[in-house]
Structure 1
Amino acid sequence: MSDPVLPTPEALAGAWRLQRFVYRWPDGRERAPLGEAAGQLLYQLDDVGRPGRMAVQVVARQRPPLDLGSDASLAAHFQSGFAYGGDWSLSGRAVHHDVDIASLPFWEGARLTREVTLEADRLVLATDAPSPQLPEGGYTTILEWTRDAL
């Protein structure tokens, strides 16, 4: 792998495929909150090459059959992933997602900031902000992506 580079809008623009989604504690322990997960991340540039729109979707690969007549089944499916979109911007090694639509309503209107590590076609987004699935915090959320060849 090459050395991490300072991210630029051009370097982040495009489609990314999720490789790994984990919570990591300072002692090295990890937990995959969705088990094996799948996801896609899109960063678009505006007409003059500046950050424009972004969208992300992450889901558990293993989900039980959906029973539309069961509140428990509907709740389990709601908890098996997340999606949001909005504008994005860069500030040094931080990417900011200014969310205007989300599967979790309390993310709407929020700025979600992620630390960026970019090495060739590998992107890692990390945050120590607590996740809705594990609100007590104390860990870093890590999402590892590879560039998706369209």
Structure 2
Amino acid sequence: MTQDLSDPLDGGLGDLEESGPIDFLIIELPTDRATGDAAFPHLLDLVDRGIVRVLDLVVVRRQPDDTVTAVGLEELDDGSTGLEVFAGARSGLLDDEDLAEAAQTVEPGRTAVILVYENTWAAPFALALRRNGAQLVANGRIPVQALLASLDASDA
């Protein structure tokens, strides 16, 4: 694996001027089978190919009484997913308040994986824009479910 997370502030963030866009995902997993083993190898592949760089990977559980508890990465990984490489992946971008807020997006009794990552594939493009005085003024995502619903509505 090419990513050194031993010092996430140096190895994770590096020179922000040369960084690509930084995004986050909150993934809800059922607590009774919160392994994510089918999906996480794809994340490892993206990192290995230099497409993304993981800055933070944190797991929390929203208890049925709405309290939030930290979950060790080892609780998601039986060793088959390779997620142990992200143990300690904390850039300092997320604080306890961010994690509590993220946990509120999942249903009580569920597990949340909070992933902050740099889109390293876009770094050269973003750097060229900044050097030429341009700036990103808006961005967004269209969820696949919304796209499918729109296509279904146009077919009707």
Q: TM-score, normalised by structure 2?
A: 0.26
The structure, 1 or 2, with the larger RCO (C-alpha pairs under 8 Å, 6+ apart) is 2
Q: TM-score, normalised by structure 1?
A: 0.27
